[in-house]
Structure 1
Amino acid sequence: MTEPVPVAVPRKGRPLEAVLERIAAVGHDDRLDRLADSVSNTLRYEKAITKDRVEADEGPYERLSEYSAPDAPAEPEFTLLRDDRDGKPRRIVFDAATVDLGDVRLKLVGREEPFRALRTHEFALGFDSADLVLEEVVGIRPEGLGEIADVNERIDPVDTDVRVVNGLGDTVYHTLMARPEQLEPGTDLDRAFLGGYEGALCISPRYERLVTAVLGTDALDDVDFVYPDPDEEEEAGIARTGVGVYLTVTGSTAREHGLVVGEHLFPSETVLMRNVVESDPRVERAIAVLDVDDAASEIRV
């Protein structure tokens, strides 16, 4: 039987669920739907244990032996990792699964940083957050960036061989927010507003490079980045500052803090990526299967 194509995927969370949903959608097989449900339900339960929302009846090794079936390669496997909580406790995360998509077989392999695994040529294909591409390799320019379809053009080929193929539709947005008194009557809260704004802009510290790439250096003249306090919600920090950028789907939490929700500046979405120099016919067939138009996604590259 043909060796499966290795594909780096996230180990947990919304991006992994998006990947499994894409696999099930293109595979047209009830077994793939069951795989997606099984992995997602297991990891949601493990997250609840991690967050102390539920108390497990058994220890992590006993739960791991129940979840994983390493002698049955079509079944999902899980593994134990140390996470960043106090005491570095163990957390059960996704490890691997082999899936058949017609004449293409994929070996989904869990990685903490799939994007970086592609950058180091460990994998030809992978899925990860589009945010990481902006945080690490997209060039900073005077003008801003609004669509992931424009990301590849801003990647220096000397820096990396990784390129975005398409998005999976699990979109939340980096969104401009402000207190109402920051806006003159009839003024829209958008990029043009920022062009004339002077003062503090509250963002999450990890997104400083991303926000700079999205807004462009021209829009950030006379703007100073500030950050929420360590124990403060991002929306609360923005409300205290007056203007800021943070992730949102509906904006309901922002409105609860008295904020106006403005322009969606950039989509935060799980993306299919490829290392363009690691290519062979099997990889091309895999991309042809996975690279499908998705009405839920605004990303087409």
Structure 2
Amino acid sequence: MTEPVRIAVPRKGRPLEAVLDRLADVSGAESVADDVVSTLRFEKDVTKGNQSSEHDVYDRLQSYSDLEDPYSPEYTLLRDDRDGKPRRIVFDAVTVDIDGVAVELVGREEPFRALRTHSFALGFDSADLVLEEVVSLAPEPLSGIEGLNDRIDPHETDVRVVSGLGDTVYHTLLATPTVIGEGPSDSLDRSFVADYEGSLLISPRYERLVQAVLGTDAMDGLTFEYPGQGEEEESAIARTGIGVYLTVTGGTARDAGLIIGEQLFPSETVLLENESEADTDAVELVKSAIRLEESLTSLP
């Protein structure tokens, strides 16, 4: 039997759901995708205390997984980051069929890093992580996923971005009316930040990302500031005056009295390949099937 094409995927959350939706579209495995999504959403609610179960976590884990059937989803246990470090059931693996090729989705905490170590030819992860880890900083800002590969040092990694999945939220400029002054709201863009001097509120995990999407020339006169312990980002930006935060509708930001500015960079799940490993017909077929859709952000 031919070995399946193995794809590293996130273990939980919005990126995994985007991957499952995409793979369901090209494999017809909608019921499997729905099963994994509903199971993980329930388990997340149990972990957060929003749901309860009469069965303990080990009984639930056993009931979810059928180890005799590779086309049935498998799950595993991880320690959650929340207070008390509760055990949380997360995705482990499942096999689907794409155009006659068996494709095994394998859960990893950090799929991008698994590709960097040549453990997989294909994988899905957040574009944010690619930008944070391997994209070089430059005076000019990086505004979209289509520019990622040009900023990856070939001596740093063989991994490249193939396409985006469209599950997009944006790193967005937010500011108070006081900071903008009398200018129109659409003036809150990169050029505004380039002229601005003072504190800029960001999440500490996105330092390199913010530098890349604003461009290093815009960093002159800026000092990064971070939310306090337990402080919401929108409230922290309102306190600081200006910042960068992930937004979907911007409703919470407006409730905090903030102006919504330029969308700087899409936070999107992307298909990745390790070019030195992706040299088989089966991998090429699977990659082509996944990226075939006009709504995808596809790179040459």
Instruction: Give 4+ residue runs of structure 1 displaced > 4 Å after superposition.
Output: 297-301
Q: For structure 2, which runs of at least 5 residues remain unmatched after alignment? A: none
1:294 Cα deviation after fit: 4.1
Please give the alpha-carbon distance, in whole angstroms, between the structure 2 residues aligned to 1:240 and 1:183. Answer: 14
Shift in CA distance, 59/294, structure 1 to aligned 2, threshold 3 Å? farther
Give the TM-score normalised by the residue count of structure 1: 0.96
Alignment CA distance shift 1:159-1:7 (3 Å): same
> 1:298–1:258: structure 2 CA closer, same or farther, 3 Å change rule?
farther
Q: Offset of 1:240 from its aligned partner?
A: 0.5
- Give the counterpart letter for 2:271 in structure 1: L
Determine what percentage of the aligned residue pairs are the same residue: 62
- Residue 282 of structure 1 is matched in structure 2 by 282
Could you give the per-residue CA deviations for residues 223-267 of structure 1, whole angstroms, max 9, x where no partner exists?
Answer: 100001011011110010000000001100100100000000000
| Secondary structure in 2 matching 1:219 | helix
Task: Give the residue type in structure 2 aligned to 1:253.
Answer: T
2:54 corresponds to 1:57: yes
Distance 1:298 1:251, change over 3 A: farther
CA distance in 2, matches of 1:249, 1:89: 29
> In 2, Cα distance between the equivalents of 1:51 and 1:299?
36
- Measured after TM superposition, the shift of residue 87 of structure 1 is 3.5
The Cα shift of 1:298 comes to 4.7
Residue aligning to 1:70: 67
Residue 247 of structure 1 is matched in structure 2 by 246
Q: Are the counterparts in 2 of residues 169 and 294 from structure 1 also a CA contact under 8 Å?
A: no
Q: Does 1:132 align with 2:129?
A: yes
CA positional deviation for 1:186: 3.4
Gaps of 5+ in 1: none
The answer to whether structure 1 residue 155 and structure 2 residue 149 are counterparts is no
1:218 partner SS: helix
In the alignment, the residues of structure 2 paired with residue 95 and residue 115 of structure 1 have an alpha-carbon distance, to the nearest angstrom, of 16
Aligned partner of residue 229 in structure 2, secondary structure: coil
Residues 126-169 of structure 1: CA distance to partner in whole angstroms, max 9, x if unpaired?
00000000110000111110011010000001000000000001
Q: Does 1:117 align with 2:114?
A: yes
Instruction: Give the equivalent residue in structure 2 for 1:291.
Output: 291
What TM-score results when the alignment is normalised by the length of structure 2? Answer: 0.96
Does the CA contact (< 8 Å) of 1:168 and 1:294 recur in 2?
A: no
